[in-house]
Amino acid sequence: EIVLTQSPGTLSLSPGERATLSCRASQSVSSSYLAWYQQKPGQAPRLLIYGASSRATGIPDRFSGSGSGTDFTLTISRLEPEDFAVYYCQQYGSSPPNTFGQGTRLEIK
Amino acid sequence: QVQLVQSGAEVKKPGASVKVSCKASGYTFTGYYMHWVRQAPGQGLEWMGRINPNSGGTNYAQKFQGRVTMTRDTSISTAYMELSRLRSDDTAVYYCARAPTTTVTTFFDYWGQGTLVTVSS
């Protein structure tokens, strides 16, 4: 079973700064089948990135994904106030299917 | 626009069952698999299973086999998730989520707003 470990647990930054979130898999993620979601309090997750680096419809280009194998990164180039939220990675390349990381909380410094 | 609208919050006693609905609009309901994902309070996301709205075929996560049943009513573009023999650790927000692919392993492009199910005696 692939376990996804996200780091850091909490990231404290200011608007305008660059955010780098990590997702590490315990085994190689097949075909870079990795997605990133944003979740704000009381809301459902929102798809940001799929296939490790493809932005979902309507997602601003300040969000970018990269990586392959076991190491993946979500980068937010310049933080906007609305970007402060919890971010989850999800692998969908192996069984058991559709497992998620524990999340990274991005908070305002 | 794609919308998934779920039923309201539920409070159930241990041992009871709960059935959550998810009404789809803005797209062809039978053209996309519907998955269910849950989130315990303050916790991460856990995949439960999926249903093919066209055929009614299902796949469930091993953890929920024997306790979960996913169904659909194509006449009203609605998917259902029923969880039986509820325990306190089933307390969670339950989400329906649309998948843009037909594989069991997939990502989710649209989500319902979530339904809080509280299990308490």
HEC assignment per residue over chain B = CCEEEECCCEEECCCCCEEEEEEEECCCHHHCCEEEEEECCCCCEEEEEEECCCCCCEEECHHHCCCEEEEEEHHHCEEEEEECCCCHHHCEEEEEEECCCCCCCCCCCEECCCEEEEECC
Of A97, A98, A100, the CB nearest to B44: A100
Q: Could you please report the per-residue DSSP string of A39-60? A: E-TTS--EEEEETTTEEPTT--
Of A35, A44, A101, the CB nearest to B113: A44
Contact of A96 with chain B, judged by CB distance below 8 Å, is answered with yes
Residue B28, C-beta contacts closer than 8 angstroms, at least 6 positions apart: none
Residue B74, C-beta contacts closer than 8 angstroms, at least 6 positions apart: B29, B30, B53, B54
Q: What is the pLDDT of residue B110?
A: 98
Q: What is the pLDDT of residue A40?
A: 97
Q: Which positions in chain A touch B44 (Cβ < 8 Å)?
A: 88, 100-103
Res B101 pLDDT > 90: no
Q: From the CA of A26, how many Å to the nearest CA of chain B?
A: 17
pLDDT tens digit sequence for B5-27: 999 999 999 999 999 999 999 99
Q: What is the pLDDT of residue B100?
A: 92
Is the Cβ pair B109, A57 closer than 8 Å? Answer: yes
Is the Cβ pair B44, A50 closer than 8 Å? Answer: no
Res B119 pLDDT > 90: yes
For B53-61, which contacts have Cβ atoms below 8 Å and span 24 or more sequence positions? B53/B29, B53/B79, B54/B30, B59/B104, B61/A96, B61/A97
Interface test with A, best of B107, B108, B110 (most A CBs within 10 A): B107
- How confident is the model over B42-49, as a mean pLDDT? 94
pLDDT tens digit sequence for A72-100: 999 999 999 999 999 999 999 888 889 99
Least confident of A92-96, B65-69, B83-87, B103-107: A92-96
pLDDT tens digit sequence for A21-52: 999 999 999 888 999 999 999 999 999 999 99
CA atoms within 13 A on the CB side of B86: 20
Q: What is the pLDDT of residue A96?
A: 80
Res B37 pLDDT > 90: yes
Of A33, A45, A95, the CB nearest to B45: A45
Q: Please, is A105 exposed, middle or buried when counting C-beta atoms within 10 Å of its C-beta (0-12, 13-18, 19+)? A: middle
